[in-house]
């Protein structure tokens, strides 16, 4: 603090100025003394001819004031930096203020800090207590109201709202003008270009090497440059983003906390890679083909095949655990039944009424053979029985007398009485 016109006494004959308002003086704090009455500077420490020496609170001037024109009543202007307060020994018993003044002076010239201890109202709840210390302790239950100069934004639940579009970032100038944007803490960068102004946009994590980044324009098209008269959104996938004008003008950008919207526009599948997409006979429908050529051993997942049932519903074609196809057929009433096989894989055929159902072809032929054997037995015995019934005692069987039951069918065929062609 600078004090002007401190209490003093001036003795021109001795060339002395006594600082009567101070008990001690810091020479480096006395900046200048001007004799206002004569308009002459009599002390200025940075000029040798205007210097002086200090003894306590008395300054002996180098400048000669023991000449005509200088009087003890001259008005002096004293510039003193570090004013420590007036002396008060004559006004108080014990000089307490003087002791305080000495402590303040010491604090100004050393690293020893000063502190004070506030106490509560002697008549209140915090009499003799330090309310600040109580408020700073978590276990006291004492709270302190404070006012933030720059409070954060909060929602209705008092949750912090992340900064969003805090201020416009304007990149302006001639072609080639650029600006680097630090995207730390934000999710996306919204950019708008006016008519006639274009720019490039690059991203970097070290602010040294920059590469192209991809965003979306207001039509949802993926872009990596900024055309004129459009709006863009780029995800903050890199720490730094550099926008460089390729035409004179100004581009405006905003750092946003909102995420980049997903591109929901239609994707053109006219080509995949360098190959034209084949349609499936209907415009807008892609042809579906397997990834394994015909006659080649499978090396990837198969394509599922389905069909449509009689009610018009789509059905998946089923197989057994070995991959065998499960086939169904229709009965005479139009009902669907699955065609089954035995454990050896032979077809199980459904027979007419009276015939065991679910028999294989081999079993069916065996049944036919048994029936024919019975018929042969009947035919073998019938002629002899008829002859005996007609009184012929020694009637001979036309098929012979030594046929055993196992040979009857063969004898029957040999006699060509009944011709049956069958395949076993």
- Report the pLDDT averaged over residues 151-171: 87
Distance CA 204, CA 210 (A): 5
- 256, 278, 309: which is the final residue of a domain? 256
Domain that holds residue 381: 364-414
The length of the chain is: 424
Number of domains in the chain: 3
37 domain-assigned: yes
Q: Tell me the per-residue pLDDT of 86-131, one tens digit each, with 9 for 90 and over.
A: 444 445 555 667 677 766 666 665 555 666 677 888 888 888 888 8
27 domain-assigned: yes
243 domain-assigned: yes
Q: Tell me the per-residue pLDDT of 368-386, one tens digit each, with 9 for 90 and over.
A: 877 777 777 776 666 666 6
Query: 81: helix, coil or strand?
Result: strand
Following CA atoms 61, 64, 68, 71 in sequence, which dihedral angle do they give, to the nearest 10 degrees? 0
What's the CATH number where 236 sits? 2.60.120
Query: 152: helix, coil or strand?
Result: coil
- 24, 57, 81: which is the final residue of a domain? 81
Q: Which two tokens stand for residue 258?
A: 């909102």
Q: What is the pLDDT of residue 195?
A: 94
Q: What is the pLDDT of residue 342?
A: 62
- 219, 236, 256: which is the final residue of a domain? 256
**Residue 166: pLDDT band by 50, 70, 90 thresholds?**
confident
Whether 231 contacts 195, CB under 8 Å: no
Does residue 226 register a pLDDT over 60?
A: yes
Which of 53-57, 63-67, 128-132, 346-350 bottoms out in mean pLDDT, i.e. has the lowest? Answer: 346-350
Distance CA 123, CA 126 (A): 8
- Residue 386 backbone dihedrals phi, psi, to 5 degrees: -65, -40
Does residue 321 register a pLDDT over 60?
A: yes
Does residue 358 register a pLDDT over 90?
A: no
The CA-to-CA distance between both ends of the chain, in Å, stands at: 130
- Report the pLDDT averaged over residues 297-320: 77
Q: What is the pLDDT of residue 228?
A: 95
Which of 171-180, 187-196, 258-267 bottoms out in mean pLDDT, i.e. has the lowest? Answer: 258-267
- Report the pLDDT averaged over residues 233-240: 95
Which of 19-33, 267-281, 344-358 bottoms out in mean pLDDT, i.e. has the lowest? Answer: 344-358
Q: Tell me the per-residue pLDDT of 241-296, one tens digit each, with 9 for 90 and over.
A: 999 999 999 999 999 988 876 665 566 677 776 777 777 667 777 777 777 777 77
**Residue 217: pLDDT band by 50, 70, 90 thresholds?**
very high
Q: What is the pLDDT of residue 422?
A: 38
What's 103-138 look like in SS3?
A: HHHHHHHCCCCCCCCCCECCCCCCECCCHHHHHHCC
Q: What is the pLDDT of residue 309?
A: 78
**Residue 394: pLDDT band by 50, 70, 90 thresholds?**
low
346 domain-assigned: no
Task: Kindly report the average pLDDT of the chain as a whole number.
Answer: 77
| Better-scored residue on pLDDT, 20 or 388 | 20
- Report the pLDDT averaged over residues 147-174: 87
Q: What is the pLDDT of residue 386?
A: 66
32 domain-assigned: yes
**Is-above-0.85 flag for pTM?**
no
**Residue 213: pLDDT band by 50, 70, 90 thresholds?**
very high
């Amino acid at each position: 603090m600078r004090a002007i016109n401190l209490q003093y006494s001036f003795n021109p004959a001795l060339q002395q100025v006594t600082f009567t308002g101070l008990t001690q003086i810091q020479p480096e704090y006395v900046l200048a003394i001007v004799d206002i009455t004569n308009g002459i500077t009599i002390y200025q420490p940075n000029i040798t001819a205007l210097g002086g020496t200090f003894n306590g609170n008395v300054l002996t001037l180098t400048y000669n004031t023991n000449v005509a024109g200088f009087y003890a009543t001259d008005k002096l202007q004293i510039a003193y930096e570090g004013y420590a307060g007036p002396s008060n020994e004559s006004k108080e018993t014990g000089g307490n203020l003087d002791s305080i003044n000495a402590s303040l002076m010491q604090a100004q010239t050393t690293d020893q800090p000063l502190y004070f201890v506030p106490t509560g109202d002697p008549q209140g709840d915090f009499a003799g207590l330090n309310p600040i210390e109580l408020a700073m302790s978590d276990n006291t239950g004492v709270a302190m109201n404070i006012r933030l100069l720059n409070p954060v934004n909060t929602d209705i639940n008092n949750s912090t709202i992340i900064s969003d579009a805090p201020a416009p970032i304007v990149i302006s100038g001639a072609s080639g003008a650029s600006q680097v944007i630090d995207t730390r803490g934000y999710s996306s960068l919204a950019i708008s270009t006016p008519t006639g102004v274009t720019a490039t946009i690059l991203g970097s994590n070290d602010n040294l090497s920059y590469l192209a980044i991809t965003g979306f324009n207001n039509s949802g098209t993926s872009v990596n440059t900024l055309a004129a008269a459009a709006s863009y959104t780029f995800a903050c996938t890199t720490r730094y983003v550099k926008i460089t004008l390729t035409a004179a003008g100004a581009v405006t950008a905003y750092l946003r906390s909102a995420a980049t919207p997903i591109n929901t526009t239609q994707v053109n599948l006219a080509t995949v890679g360098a190959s034209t997409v084949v349609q499936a006979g209907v415009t807008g429908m892609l042809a579906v083909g397997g990834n394994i050529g015909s006659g080649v051993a499978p090396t990837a997942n198969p394509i599922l095949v389905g069909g449509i049932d009689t009610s018009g519903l789509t059905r998946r074609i089923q197989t057994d655990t070995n991959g065998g196809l499960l086939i169904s057929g229709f009965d005479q009433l139009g009902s669907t039944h699955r065609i089954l096989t035995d454990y050896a894989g032979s077809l199980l055929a459904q027979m007419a009424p009276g015939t065991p159902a679910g028999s294989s072809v081999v079993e069916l032929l065996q049944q036919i053979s048994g029936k024919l054997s019975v018929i042969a037995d009947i035919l073998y015995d019938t002629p002899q029985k008829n002859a005996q019934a007609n009184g012929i005692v020694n009637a001979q069987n036309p098929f012979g007398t030594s046929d055993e039951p196992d040979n009857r069918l063969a004898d029957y065929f040999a006699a060509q009485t009944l011709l049956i062609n069958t395949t076993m």
